[in-house]
Amino acid sequence: MTINPKAKLEETQDGTVVYNFDPLIVKSHYEIDYVHSYAQDSEFFKALGRKEILGSKCKKCGYIYATPRGHCMECGSETEWYKLPNEGKIHAYTTCYFGGEAFLNETPFHLVLVEFEGVDSLFMSRIIGVDTEDLYIGMPIRAKFRRNLKLNPTDVYFVPKA
């Protein structure tokens, strides 16, 4: 047991960043590392290292997803992995000149939704090696893969088909 009436908080030099005094506006810092599990989507990310894009196919109704999901939205059944072709076409596109803070230093960049022959849904990705005015819906494009993986969906990206 301690009873110390002279107890005193240690002074620090941290201080606070103040933006305004009326009203009082101060800086409040926050950051965090998440332990993010890809869970049932894990195989997709691993396959990118083998230069494969894995979609999924419903075991029951045969619906094929370009962006994989463990269960079918049409019938609720389990899906299996389905290897997508490495070539597709642009279904829609844009060029982002601004973005979320995490991506601002990458602007401008192009986003595309890719359609694959015989596949029922689309796949979102980036395309490089083109200017906005070169992009058009229906443009044939080809997948490329990073050699050194980031283990996120940017490990695959697209370029115009030669």
Partner 1 sequence: MKNKGQDVYMISGGVTKFTKASPEADFRLRTKKAFDYALNDVGMTLKDIDGSVASYFSDHFQRQLMSGIMAQDYLGLTPKPSKRVEGGGATGGLSFQAGVEEVASGRMNTCVVYGFETMSHVNTWKGNEFIALASDTNFDYPIGGFYTGYYAMMATRHMHEFGTTVEQLAKVSVKNHGNALHNPYAQSPMKITVEDVRNSPMVSYPLTRLDVCAMSDGAAVAVLANEEKAFELCDNPVLIKGIGTGTDTMRLADRPHGKVILLPNESESDYKNLKYPGIHSFRAGRSAAKEAYLSAGITDPLEELDIVELHDAYTSSEIQTYEDLGLCKYGEGGHFVEEGKADLKGKVAVNPSGGLLACGHPVGATGIMQAVFMFWQLQRTIKKHFKDETLQINNAKRGLIHSHAGTGTYVTATVMEAVK
Residues near partner 1 (CB under 8 A):
20, 23, 25, 28, 30, 36, 38, 41, 65-67, 69, 73-74, 91-104, 106, 109, 111-113, 120-126, 132, 137, 152-154
Running DSSP on this structure, what letter comes out for residue 78? Answer: B
Q: How far is the CB of 123 from partner 1 (least distance, A)?
A: 6
| In the complex, minimum distance from the CB of residue 156 to partner 1, in angstroms, rounded to a whole number | 10
Whether the CB-CB separation of 74 and 58 falls below 8 Å is answered with yes
Terminal Cα-to-Cα distance of the chain (whole angstroms):
79
Nearer to partner 1, 2 or 30 (CB): 30
Name the minimum Å distance from CB 121 to partner 1. 5
Give the residue with the Cβ less far from partner 1, 126 or 142.
Answer: 126
79-83: strand order across its sheet: 64-65, 54-58, 79-83
- Kindly state the helix (H) or strand (E) to which residue 95 belongs, with its residue range: strand 87-96
